[in-house]
Structure 1
Amino acid sequence: MRKKGLVARMVSLVLVVGMIAGCSNDSGSNAQTGASDNSGDTVKLKMWGGVPPEAGPQAVIDVWNKEHPETQIEYVRYVNDDEGNLKLDTAIMTGQDVDLFVNYTISHTAKRVASGAAADLSSFTDYNIDEKMGPDAEGWKIDGKYYGVPTTKSTYFVALNKEALDAANLPVPKDWTWDEMREYAKKLKKDSGYGFIQNTEPFVDSMDSVLSQEGYTKADGTSNLDHPMVRKWLETLNAMMAEDKTTPPLGEQLTSKMPVEQMFLSGEVPMLNIGAWLLRSSNNFTDYPRDFTIAFAPVPRLSEDKEGYVMRGGLGDYISINAKSKHQEAAWEFLKWYADGGMAPMAEGGRFPASKDADQDKAMESMLGDKKDTYDLESLMYVMFDYQTPTYVRTVPQEVMDLRAQEYEKYFLGVQDLDTTISAMVSRHNDYLKTAK
């Protein structure tokens, strides 16, 4: 109920912001350069992002501030969850100091664009985003325009305890299915422990890898949430939770706020489905000491057939300039510097720069630091650069994310059967589609 309440508040917030933006459109569209940008005074900017400052952002800001005394930047951290995104949107709406902000999904970006919060970057002609970031940047356009710059190459993977694999005589997978991973989990499970665990952020990625290609709706415009691979995903995960007991029940994971990264890095669980942000913890031996090598495998696919398979990834960390910022020119100068290599310290937390002009060797050095020998480098390079499969960026509206989560959680909790769950997801999705027209 709490999540539903937050979503309702988000929708209301967007409507209010949209009304405000509509009433003040003239002043907002002309706020391209604030007076203090040309006054000779120090310009002070605030950048909001979801990464803890100690995991790279503060190091980036410190370098910029030292080299650019005329423009000083303060980093403000918001947690990238429902409450954190509401906090950011409220700050923008109420005119708090937000000059730049990082978007992590297209659904959040689209709402901010619709509310007039993100500046249209087409007026800046000295930086070619398509040329710098490559064809994957196209997926971040909204109505054919950029309202931000995608700055990172996003990589998702299954992290593996290499020593545990060796002890079980299991190779590091280079291409596998969920059925094969299920067997790995059985062989790696020890006593009452788990063989596989996952962060809740990429929990539904396998379902979306199918629907992003097959369509969230069918040819007749009705819901496609009853796609056979959606059923396959539900059945497989439920079997791992209830029958195999190789992965935690979702209810237990949510209510206990299970520290999945800590459980993997402590050696308690040998496989973890996560994104490249794992490295900000796996490089931190003070808080997360470990005595094993981390190997990497692609996220498994649901179908035996690799044809048409896509994996979540592409470009991410889409940084926008507040359309109401008085210092858009200064923010733009920082954003260009950041994207073209200033963000290198972010690689320590797994955020690899996307720009072709960024120093990739420097970023890789930052990413691994003095912990290079604690990773299986061959598999790391494979999942980051060599695994040849198309990628997708999740574009499903947040309302659809929420309604389907509310239904599949009932299934994983054992209070609703599979057929009822799928039927309810489809029915609710169809209702949403009618209202969204």
Structure 2
Amino acid sequence: MRNKKGWAMLLIGVLLMGLLAGCGGKTASSANEGQGTDNSKAPSSGDPVKLTMWGGVPPEAGPQEVIDAWNAEHPDIQVEYVRYVNDDDGNLKLDTAMITGQDVDLFVNYTLSQTSKRVESNLALDLSQFDDYNIDEKMGPDAEGWKINGKYYGMPTTKSAFFVALNKDALDAAGLPVPKDWTWDELREYAKKLKVGNNYGFIQNMEPFVDPIDSVLSQEGYTKADGTSNLDHPLVKKWLETLNVMMKEDKTTPPLGEQLTSKMPVEQVFLSGEVPMLNIGAWLLRSSNNFTDFPRDFTIAFAQVPRLTDSADSYVTRGGLGDYISINAKSKKQAEAWEFLKWYADGGMAPMAAGGRLPASKDADQDEALNNLLGDKKDTYDLDSLMHVMFEDKTPTYVRSLPQEVMDMRAQEYEKYFLNAQSLDQTLEAMVSRHNTFLKEGK
């Protein structure tokens, strides 16, 4: 998430809202003239309440089926789904829509970093005002990681899994077992053995690209005991070195510059059989179940994301719960939005499992979700490894919570390293220096 214009544009939006608010001579109707229907107004007697929900999943991958089911059962509260792309521009579009009073009643957050920004901007409603649903009891202890200042400003609704997807046919041909517990050094060796010709042995979706660093620092601390940056931790250095060698010496994974400039469609590349290992999240299944657009003739297996440490004792992996759904603090229909959110979390979201999104609530029908997850493609997956990664693995998890500004800064510096614009030592020094400046400014 490296959009340098994002929050600057957002601030411009805030200023514009201030100017509009200062136009005291305008009536409500004249101020809204030319802006379309004002969904913030209470409906006339007898009219259904209209809710608008924004999320990052394509409608056809589950959300529309969920919305259609709700609308059929609740003629008095009708929901419309609006898709935004979960990238810099898409998140800016969502934030701007809320700040400028457009139709947003519920919205899905995909990282705690984005959520925190929205809480600071008073865009997410504090859910503690509702006392008829116990999020901790329903979702279990992993929900705790989504609290901000001890409160829920949204509800985590899915079991969030990140993994390395594997072409099992390629592994079998190379005589390699499906790993359950492995390191990045071992993944590097797998990539060498699986590389065929000029093809790569391993590719990554950019969303979980940096997770190995956060796996370490979420436990060791992003700052040291003296309060200074810990971004030069030895395992941060190891991650950088390992990937750099894989990119430039082994040539088993694409150079970062190539991947970014080409906008490599990593899911398509993996599902075509071109590259046998892909670091990604459970959303892969919405594509891997789609044989129309992504035909494949191999079995997919699953492995835990590898660790940087030799010992598994202190290892944590990204996961736990996700799809944190908030109610817009400016919505005039918060009670209705809350009713929909409870229904969604407790089972209404079942069709989302087809895209890899399993419900987190203990009251959701998990058998139904599993059936939706696999559909009629059950025989195209290695079920033992899928069940291990999705349901049985007891490795502790973390939720990424690093401030967005630090994530952006960190990415800017490690990209320079992978692009040969600065050395490893210069990269670590620059990350630490910029992080320390951020920490000082925040005091």
Q: Flag whether TM exceeds 0.5 (same fold).
A: yes
| Matching of residue 408 in structure 1 with residue 414 in structure 2 | yes
- 3-state DSSP class of the match of 2:165? strand
Cα deviation for residue 323 of structure 1 reads 1.1
Tell me the residue number matched to 1:192. 198
Deviates more, 1:108-117 or 1:370-379: 108-117
Taking the TM superposition and a 5 Å limit, the aligned residue runs for 1:149-298 are: 149-298=155-304
AA in 1 matched with 2:109: N
Which residue of structure 1 aligns with residue 96 of structure 2? 90
**Aligned counterparts, 1:352-363, within 5 A:** 352-363=358-369
Cα deviations across residues 352-380 of structure 1 (Å, max 9, x unaligned)? 00000000000000010000000000000
Unmatched tracts of structure 1, length 5 or more: 22-33
Partner amino acid for 1:354? Answer: A
**2:370 aligned with 1:364, yes or no?**
yes
Note the C-alpha offset of 1:316: 0.6
Cα distance in 2 for residues equivalent to 1:253 and 1:182: 18
Partner residue, 1:430:
436
Give, in angstroms, the shift of residue 41 of structure 1: 2.1
Output one character per residue of 1:85-114: Cα deviation in whole Å (capped at 9) or x when no partner: 000000000000100000111111111111
Match of 2:5 in 1: 5
Report the counterpart of residue 345 of structure 1 in structure 2: 351
- 1:265–1:290 CA contact under 8 A, matched in 2: yes
Q: Deviations over 1:314-361 (max 9, x none)?
A: 111010111111111111110000000000000000000000000000
User: Following the alignment from structure 1 to structure 2, what is the Cα–Cα distance between the partners of residues 247 and 35?
Assistant: 53
TM-score when normalising by structure 2 = 0.93
Q: 1:62-81 to 2 correspondence within 5 Å?
A: 62-81=68-87
Runs of 4+ aligned residues of structure 1 deviating over 6 Å after TM superposition are: 14-21
The alignment's TM-score, normalised by the length of structure 1, stands at 0.94
Map Cα deviations across residues 123-182 of structure 1 (whole Å, 9 max, x no partner).
111111010000111111111111111000100000000000000000000000000000
State the Cα deviation string for residues 168-219 of structure 1 (Å, max 9, x = none): 0000000000000000000000011000000000000011000000000001
* Distance of aligned partners of 1:145 and 1:86 in 2 relative to their CA distance in 1, 3 Å threshold: same
Q: Which residue does the alignment assign to 2:34?
A: none
Q: Is the 8 A contact 2:13 2:100 kept in 1?
A: no
CA distance in 1, matches of 2:80, 2:3: 30
Asked whether the 8 Å contact 1:155–1:384 carries over to 2, the reply is yes
Shift of the alpha carbon at 1:39? 3.8
Counterpart code for 1:3 = N
Corresponding position of 1:29:
none
Q: Is the 8 A contact 1:37 1:329 kept in 2?
A: no
User: Could you report, residue by residue, the CA deviation over 1:359-410 in whole angstroms, capped at 9, with x for unpaired residues?
Assistant: 0000000010000000000000000111121000000001000111111001
Aligned partner (choices 297, 314, 331) of residue 337 of structure 2? 331
**Identity of matched residues, %:** 78
1:105 corresponds in structure 2 to: 111
Query: Partner residue of 2:27?
Result: none
Question: Would you say the 8 A contact 1:37–1:330 is kept in 2?
Answer: no
- Residues 234, 392 of structure 1: CA spacing in aligned structure 2 closer, same or farther, 3 A cutoff? same
- Number of positions where the alignment pairs a residue of Structure 1 with one of Structure 2: 425
Equivalence for 1:31: none
Deviation string for 1:56-84 (max 9, x for gaps)?
00010011111111111100000001110
Change (3 A) 1:91 1:181: same
